[in-house]
Amino acid sequence: FLSGRTALVTGSTSGIGLAIACSLAEAGARIAVNGLGDQAQVDAALDAVRKAGSEDARHFNADLRDPDAIAAMMAGIDAWSPIDVLVNNAGIQHTASLAEMPVGKWNDIIAINLSAAFHTMRAALPGMAARGYGRVVNIASVHGLVASKEKAPYVAAKHGIVGLSKVAALEYAAAGSRDSGGVTVNCICPGWVETPLIEPQIEARRNGGSRDDGVRALVAEKQPSLRMTLPAEIGALAAWLCRREAHNVTGASFPVDGGWTTQ
């Protein structure tokens, strides 16, 4: 259902982004891969999306802290193939109390986890509306809905992207039609997902035990299912949101959190 469509997935050299890129590739999309990493990591990501079924995949290099680099990336992708599906997924984390949070970490987390999505959406949404089909899937977090201690910039950025997505959903709600698929903007709000991003938090809870002890301690704190989510499970939901029959699903935030935010 995505053949002939083009998807940009930011932060798709690793973790959830790579899994989403593979799910969209499986549905037939051309994939613009973005994210940091050495040539081997970029090549591995391109290989994975091609193997998943993408007819064409390219890496677009932009450090998302830099609005000029984002503008150049968006222009480059547009010249290659205009974006039908935009997944704002890139994100970083740093845990420290508010009083001890380094200012540089605040600035980077707000830039990557929130402002980058504003810049990409601002560039991509008008073209989606003109063509009558577009999907924006923003990877927020349970921390877009509730807070935890020691994550001030992360929680602020994730609440911000939930709000930003609602505004965009309203502004583009009437674009396109049922037949063309319309333009929708939604958030996915994962709890714990097994990726490199959370390794430091697993490490911090090992207490001299094994990595599995660290995982159990981390999950038990917040996630009643006591199971982590796999990146591919987020990919499956992102792909479903891109289907034509999801044309009226917009402005929503979907927790994938084993019950975390239902408590």
**Tell me, what DSSP letter sits at residue 193?**
B
Q: Which is nearer to ligand NAD, 8 or 128 (CB)?
A: 8
Q: Which stretch binds ligand NAD (CB under 6 A): 33-41, 50-58, 71-79, 176-184?
A: 33-41
Which residue in 6, 8, 9, 13 binds ligand NAD (CB under 6 A)? 13
CA–CA distance, 84 with 242 (Å, rounded to integer) = 9
Catalytic residue numbers? 154
Does residue 46 belong to the site contacting ligand NAD (CB under 6 A)?
no
CA–CA distance, 1 with 193 (Å, rounded to integer) = 26
Q: Residue 94: which of 74, 121, 112, 78 has the closest Cα?
A: 112
Does residue 141 belong to the site contacting ligand NAD (CB under 6 A)?
yes
CA–CA distance, 15 with 11 (Å, rounded to integer) = 8
H-state helical runs in 223-259? 231-241
Does residue 131 belong to the site contacting ligand NAD (CB under 6 A)?
no
Q: Which stretch binds ligand NAD (CB under 6 A): 46-54, 129-137, 186-194, 245-253?
A: 186-194
Please say whether the beta carbons of 164 and 114 come within 8 A: yes
Does residue 165 belong to the site contacting ligand NAD (CB under 6 A)?
no
Which residue in 133, 192, 254, 260 binds ligand NAD (CB under 6 A)? 192
Q: Residue 139: which of 14, 2, 6 has the closest Cα?
A: 14
Does residue 190 belong to the site contacting ligand NAD (CB under 6 A)?
yes
Does residue 160 belong to the site contacting ligand NAD (CB under 6 A)?
no
Within 10 A of 44 (CB to CB), how many other CB atoms are there?
A: 14
Does residue 17 belong to the site contacting ligand NAD (CB under 6 A)?
yes
Q: Which is nearer to ligand NAD, 112 or 168 (CB)?
A: 112
CB of 113 to ligand NAD, least distance (A): 6
Handedness of CA 26, 29, 32, 35 (dihedral sign): negative
CB of 24 to ligand NAD, least distance (A): 15
CB of 65 to ligand NAD, least distance (A): 5
Tokens of 114: 């929130």
CB of 30 to ligand NAD, least distance (A): 19
Tokens of 82: 């205009």
Site for ligand NAD in 49-108 (CB under 6 A): 63-65, 89-92
For ligand NAD, how many residues bind (rule: CB under 6 A)?
A: 27
CB of 8 to ligand NAD, least distance (A): 12
CA–CA distance, 101 with 99 (Å, rounded to integer) = 6
Strand order through the sheet with 182-190: 57-59, 30-33, 6-9, 85-88, 133-139, 182-190, 253-256
What backbone phi and psi angles, to 5 degrees, belong to 92?
-130, 165
Chain residues binding ligand NAD by CB under 6 A are 11, 13-17, 35-37, 63-65, 89-92, 112-113, 139, 141, 190, 192-193, 195-198
